[in-house]
Amino acid sequence: MDKKTCFFFLFVTFLYGVAQYTYMPILSSYAQTLGAGAFLVGFITGMNGTVSLFLRLPFSFLSDYLHKRKIFITASILFTFLAALIVCFWQSPASLIISRALAGVSMSTWVHYTVLFASYYPKEKMGYAVGMVNAIIVLGDFAGTFLCGFLAPRFGEISTYLAAALLALAALILCLLFIKEKVPEKQGHLSLPELFSVMKMPVVVFYSVLSAVALYIFFATGPAFTPLVAVENFAADQVQLSVLSALSLAATFASCLVCGLIPRWMTGKQVIAGSFLLILLANALTPYLPHFGLLCAAQTLNSFFSNFLSVYLQVLVIAAVAPKLETAATGFFQTIYALGIAFGPIGTGILQNMTGNYGITYLLLSLLPLAAMLWTIVWDRKRPIDIRI
């Protein structure tokens, strides 16, 4: 594919990422100013994950059936535009719920970005293409947090939603004009017995559940309740909340780059258990840290290893199955980890409502990485965690 198409694809992806994250750093605190309690804050921030949980697989199979990718990318940008626009004209917890639901529809189509962009390259460069498009979306998210930090203190929260709508509109126009469809070779559809055989593989289920735990913790803390801890403990303003979010995104970006740099002497079991140990420590200490800078450090550590595990475990899933089952295994993996994305904020919101104390809530939340770490240590199947990537 020509360089012009690749450039505009990456630029559209960047704008899409910026539009998604321009209002995210202030979402939970803005929801509170509109009258949302702890449960409703969790419900709002988790709504996008809940919607994507139900749409991810249907969209993937529909795309395969139609042999189309661009239409799903175009739709995702349109829904991002609508998610921001609705809050510009209607400010209430209900509008935030609808906004996040629309964002969830958009989020369900991310696989189409990676598949279409990778199709522009020969097979030997597919890894480079997938890495590049993932790096660009994280950079867009990162830029969106800084844009939020600039706009919100000067022009108010609504300005962040207006900026997101304008950026999404620009991305939509460029997508329609410059992104080209590349029709994949038609292949036979995956049969239900094959799909169910993947769901019964212990190693696939094991990796998928661990990823769901990692993302449950990340989405319960980073975008949802850690900003509220910062506000309660340090009276953090909108700029500080943007910095907190930006550091989390920077850690996410870095985590995507280190999977291939793991020392050869480390086993998969050591990598996974060690990562969960650091996640446990970061979250158990978060409500008790005496300085905002230390809170940022803990959140950065939490974000890095939570997202690192989601990438690392997905690679292990692909390596653990036969080539003909890679698509099914990846789809199942993403559906399971979407449970963590969806229910992390909601479950933690319920927990915070019950305890009324962030210290107790985060301590109880830390039991999840503890359980995942212990499960990893005692895992003893015929196929151990010994795959190097």
- Do 154 and 247 have their domain in common? no
Q: Is the pLDDT of residue 51 over 70?
A: yes
Q: Is the pLDDT of residue 178 over 50?
A: yes
Q: Is the pLDDT of residue 219 over 80?
A: yes
Distance (Å, whole) CA 282 – CA 43: 24
Q: By percentage, how much of the chain surpasses pLDDT 90?
A: 33
- The parent domain of residue 271 ranges over 193-389
Q: Is the pLDDT of residue 187 over 60?
A: no
- Do 152 and 236 have their domain in common? no
- Do 147 and 222 have their domain in common? no
Q: State the helix-helix crossing angle for 3-21 and 157-178, rounded to 10 degrees.
A: 160
Q: Of the residues 177, 209, 242, which one is the last residue of a structural domain? A: 177
- Do 378 and 342 have their domain in common? yes
Confirm whether 184 is domain-assigned. no
Confirm whether 86 is domain-assigned. yes
Number of domains within the chain: 2
Taking a C-beta distance cutoff of 8 angstroms, is the pair 137, 16 a contact? yes
As a whole number of Å, the CA-based R_g of the chain is 20
Distance (Å, whole) CA 59 – CA 356: 39
Confirm whether 187 is domain-assigned. no
DSSP secondary structure letters along 158-175:
HHHHHHHHHHHHHHHHHH
What residue type is 254 in one-letter code? A
Question: What residues have CB less than 8 Å from 366, skipping those under 6 apart?
Answer: 280, 283, 284
- Do 141 and 268 have their domain in common? no
- Do 214 and 114 have their domain in common? no
- Do 95 and 131 have their domain in common? yes
Of residues 22 and 68, more confidence is placed in 22
For residue range 122-149, list pLDDT tens digits in order.
Answer: 755 655 676 677 778 888 888 888 898 8
Per-residue pLDDT, 13: 94
Q: By percentage, how much of the chain surpasses pLDDT 70?
A: 87
Q: Is the pLDDT of residue 12 over 90?
A: yes
Residue 197 pLDDT level (bands cut at 50, 70, 90): confident
Per-residue pLDDT, 213: 95
Per-residue pLDDT, 387: 47
Confirm whether 216 is domain-assigned. yes
- Do 107 and 240 have their domain in common? no
- Do 197 and 165 have their domain in common? no
Tell me, what CATH number does 145's domain have? 1.20.1250.20
Taking a C-beta distance cutoff of 8 angstroms, is the pair 238, 149 a contact? yes
Per-residue pLDDT, 388: 47
Confirm whether 182 is domain-assigned. no
Give the chain's mean pLDDT. 83
Q: Is the pLDDT of residue 223 over 80?
A: no
Kindly report whether the global pTM for this prediction surpasses the value 0.85: no
Inter-CA distances, 4 with 11, 121, 133, Å: 10, 13, 15
- Do 172 and 305 have their domain in common? no
